[in-house]
Structures are given as structure tokens and as C-alpha cells.
Structure 1
Amino acid sequence: MDGGCHCGAIRYRLAGDFANHTLCHCSDCRRASGAPMVGWIMMAREGVALLQGSPQIYASSEHARRHFCAACGTGLFYTNDTMLPGLIDVQSATLDDPGAVPPTDQIQIAERLGWMTGIDALPVHARYPGME
């Protein structure tokens, strides 16, 4: 599976098995991504190969490192050598086919936004309203 950032400056390839595909609801992931939750595919670091470009790294806490494209800001990877030695989390929405790997679980639901529980009741649109 291949993926990359929004502007195309960084491209990567995943190879091998993944441990899980977790939807994280923590406030750190929300603030770093600007989204109500973030999907993470966890796998061995050697299973992620950079094909093009090199991400910038932001120390978001003492042990956590968030890897992102410096040109467009897309978040790509998360590492934490203390909590997850030898593993890397890949933001699943950055895959070329993000629907290829269904989520396996959700974490940090104690921090989940309250309105997420009723989201299926909202009106839906196939495209941007007015452009359907």
C-alpha cells in the first residue's frame, strides 16, 4: 500500500503485516490533525519505506514524535520509542486507498467529542451541498 502527503512531496510504501488500525479520539491527535479523530495503522518501522521526500519531526511530548510534511503540513507518522519501541503509526487517511484497511478498534474514547455519538443522525450529501 502506498500513500503520501497532500502536496505529493512525501510518498511512502507500507509492506508487511499491521498490528491494528485504531481510531484515536485523544485531544493531542485532534489538535495535531484538526480533525475529530485520527486513524492510525500500527506496524513495524521497517515496514514503512519512504519513496520520496523526508518528513519534518515535531516533539509533541517528551517521548512522542509526530512526522509531517513541511511543505503542506499533512501529518503522516507517529513514533514513541518509550511506549511503542520499534513500531510506527501511519495516518490511515494518507493512504492512496484509505478504505482498504477497515478500523479494528477505537482508543481514548474518554476524550471523544460528545457529538460523535449522534453523527449518523445528521443529514448526508454525496458531494458539497449545492454541487451535487
Structure 2
Amino acid sequence: MTIILTGGCQCGAVRYRATGEIGFPHLCHCRMCQKAAGSYFMPLGGVKWENFSFTRGEPAWFHSSETVRRGFCVQCGTPLFYDGGSDHISITLGSLDAPQGVRPALQTNLAHKMFWFGALDGLPHDAGMDMTPDEEKKVAASSRQHPDHDTESWPPEEREARS
């Protein structure tokens, strides 16, 4: 059975498809990935270029160094890809439609990892900050986020009319 993974940016302007397993799923803690993700680390995994295609739009590219370019959606800013010039492209694992299906197997660049990560599971949970079911419905009804599956077109016509 062939594995087919799809994903894309938050607004749906860029969509992609990868065939086969994601290789080298990892968390990169380097400072460049931290800045590119706007987070403490970036989850990445690779797929060979021959098994990868864009199904809607194309990303913009930022050359973060002489050897690396990073793909992102020019419409919504979602970081999507890391291209180090090899035979594969690395996908940001959070941009997959089903990110829970690809579990990171290792970490890289630990010199830049936040020293307090080990304590995160011990942080208290403030349930009062969680969305209620009614709040979730209200957000979902007005969301401009692309759903976690391919669509024939995006955004839906009724949303375009409101813009």
C-alpha cells in the first residue's frame, strides 16, 4: 500500500502531496529554524523530490543561508519547507493534514534547545483558558483556515463574497 500524505499552508494557497514515508522526522533546535518557525524548534521530515508535488500554488522562497532556502506561503506566512539542495525536500510536520501520523524520531542542534523543555509537562493547566464548545463552534464558523484535506478550490465562494 502506498502512503500518500497531503498538507499545506493555513490559508490554502499552497498545497502539496508526498508519496511514501516521511524520512528523518526530527525536531531541529538550531537558531535559524527557531527564527523561521517563530517557535522554540521546527519539526521537519524529508521526502524525495521525485515523490513530491505541489497541488495548488507554489511557495515563496527565502534563502536563509548560501546552502538553504525555506519555502513559505506568501499569502499567510506559514513556514512549509526546508530545502538544503539535496535529493529531498523537508516538510514542516505541522503543515501536514494529519501531523499526528508522523512522530519525530530524534532531535538535532541541541546546543540551542531551551534548557527548560524538560519541565513543560509539569506546567499547570488552566482549564479556564480552554475554549468552550460554543466558542469552538463560533471560531470554526468564521475560520479562514483551510481544512485538513484537499479541496477543489479555496476559499469557498461565500467567503470570497464577504471579503
Normalising by structure 2, report the TM-score.
0.74
- Identity among equivalent positions (%) equals 37
Q: Which of the two has greater strand per residue?
A: 1
Of structures 1 and 2, the larger Rg is shown by: 2
Alpha-carbon distance between aligned partners in 2 of 1:130 and 1:78, rounded to the nearest angstrom? 33
1:86 maps to what in 2? 87
Cα distance in structure 2, aligned partners of 1:114 and 1:64: 27
Structure 1: which 5+ runs fail to align?
none
Q: Is the 8 A contact 2:22 2:102 kept in 1?
A: no
Q: CA deviation at 1:113?
A: 1.0
Secondary structure, counterpart of 1:22 in structure 2: strand
Q: Distance in 1 between matches of 2:95 and 2:65?
A: 23
- Counterpart secondary structure, 1:13: strand
Q: 1:61/1:122 Cα in 2 relative to 1: closer, same or farther (>3 Å)? A: same
Would you say the 8 A contact 2:11–2:75 is kept in 1? yes
Structure in which a larger fraction of residues adopt helix: 2
1:51 to 34, 41, 55: 55
Instruction: Please say if residues 27 and 43 of structure 2, whose CA atoms lie closer than 8 Å, have aligned partners that are also in contact.
Output: yes
Rounded Cα–Cα distance in structure 2 between residues aligned with 1:44 and 1:51: 16
Across the aligned residues of Structure 1 and Structure 2, the Cα RMSD in angstroms comes to 1.5
Q: Partners of 2:125 and 2:104 in 1: how far apart?
A: 21
- AA in 2 matched with 1:131: M
- 4+ aligned runs moved over 2 Å, structure 1: none
**Which digits, 9 at most, give the CA deviation of each residue in 1:23-45, with x for residues without a partner?**
11111111111011111011211
Gaps of 5+ in 2: 133-163
The TM-score, its normalising length taken from structure 1, stands at 0.90
2: CA distance, partners of 1:130 / 1:104? 30
- In the alignment, the residues of structure 2 paired with residue 12 and residue 75 of structure 1 have an alpha-carbon distance, to the nearest angstrom, of 13
